[in-house]
A and B are shown apart, each in its own frame.
Chain A
Amino acid sequence: MTLGEIIKTLDCRVVAGNTNLDAKVRTGCGCDLMSDVLAFIKPGAILLTGLNNPQVVRTAEIAEIRIVCFVRGKQPSQELITLARESGITLLTTSLPMFEACGKLYMNGLSGYDE
């Protein structure tokens, strides 16, 4: 899927980062535990998370994740947005809970990482 399709599917708001809507997203990862993100996520994935603290952006930076989507309407702090801008990470928010967000993306053809 493209970033644009994801934004449309999850009715996302873009809170930081570039809006190259044609950017390709290869796979998804829904996770609130950053060690698991570090251990399993593939570069080029979108990270969906209910965790809302600066470590999300740090983890994304370390694991080479360019797009992070906060689920269930979590609004990232200004500190987090600044950190994301510095690291060139795109931040999205959706009001959908994690289950529905993962489900809709999966049903729209975004596969998980071990497929």
Chain B
Amino acid sequence: MTLATIIENLGLEVKSASGDLTHEITGAYVSDLLSDVMANSKEGQLWVTLQVHPNIVAVATLKDLAGIILVNGREAEKETIERAEEEKIPLMTTRLATFQLAGKLYGLLGEC
């Protein structure tokens, strides 16, 4: 399933679309701890987090993540959006809480 389809299905608000939205998404990583994401996320995963700090873009770039979804109505810092644009990391937001967003995304992607 492409990132664009996921965005449409989950009604995500796109904050930065300079990256590749046709990317085929097969999995996600849910974490609010940067060191955890650095250590355990896998290339191509969508990252779901509460963190809005510009460092999240750096982490996503380093780990080749497919994009970042900010949950629970969190607004990205201006600098975070700028960096996402530069680094071509798709950045989305949602009103949904982590648990629900992860639940719905899990349903979309099927048991992986």
Contact = CB atoms under 8 A, between A and B. Distances in A.
Q: Is the interface of A mostly helix, strand, loop or mixed?
A: mixed
Contacts of B100: 106, 111-112, 114-115
B107 A103 contact: yes
Q: Is the interface of B mostly helix, strand, loop or mixed?
A: mixed
Q: How large is the interface on A (under 10, 10 to 19, 20 to 34, 35 or more residues)?
A: 20 to 34
A113 B97 contact: yes
B30 interface: yes
Max chain A Cβ within 10 angstroms of own Cβ: one of B33, B99, B104, B105:
B99
A27 B112 CA distance: 23
Interface in A22-71: 27-33, 36, 40, 48, 50-51
Interface string B81-98: 000000000000000111
Nearest to A106: B103
A30 B32 CA distance: 10
